[in-house]
Amino acid sequence: MSSFILGRIKSIVYALKGFFWLIRNENSIITQVIFAFGFTILGFYFQIDRFEWALQVLAIGLVLAIESLNTAVEKVCDFIHPDFHSKIGLIKDIASGAVTFAVFTAFIIACLIYIPYIFI
């Protein structure tokens, strides 16, 4: 097998290792996964259409991906500077701010999808 293909396979294995680590150990990711299951049940309950499913899956993926990157930033911060430092605090706050953008976007998408089903 060429070293290119072998390299790609190794990358996928490492990525899956990170994926499973996150859903086993990281409370914020576990919480978001529970929310994702909740909204999936809601989607089946209200029989949302294909376009709404696509938007919902995109919103869930966006939140999980940004939350995962936020976790990575926190880990780097704790590794390079385990003690309290105002700059570390700011870096962590900014990474959390990125999650807030994603959650806010997902909230708007959820409102656009479900408000018509619930109230109209």
DSSP 47: T
Site string for ligand ATP, 5-34 (x = CB under 6 A): ----------------------xx------
Contact 69, 19 (CB under 8 A): no
Ramachandran area for residue 15 (φ above 0: left; ψ -120 to 50: alpha; else beta): alpha
Q: Should residue 74 be labelled a site residue for ligand ATP when binding is judged by CB under 6 A? A: yes
Helices within 1-119 (DSSP H only):
3-25, 27-46, 50-80, 86-119
Q: At closest approach, how far in Å is the CB of 32 from ligand ATP?
A: 11
Q: Should residue 75 be labelled a site residue for ligand ATP when binding is judged by CB under 6 A? A: no
Q: Should residue 92 be labelled a site residue for ligand ATP when binding is judged by CB under 6 A? A: yes
Stretch that binds ligand ATP, among 6-14, 16-24, 50-58, 88-96 (CB under 6 A): 88-96
Q: What positions carry a catalytic annotation? A: 67
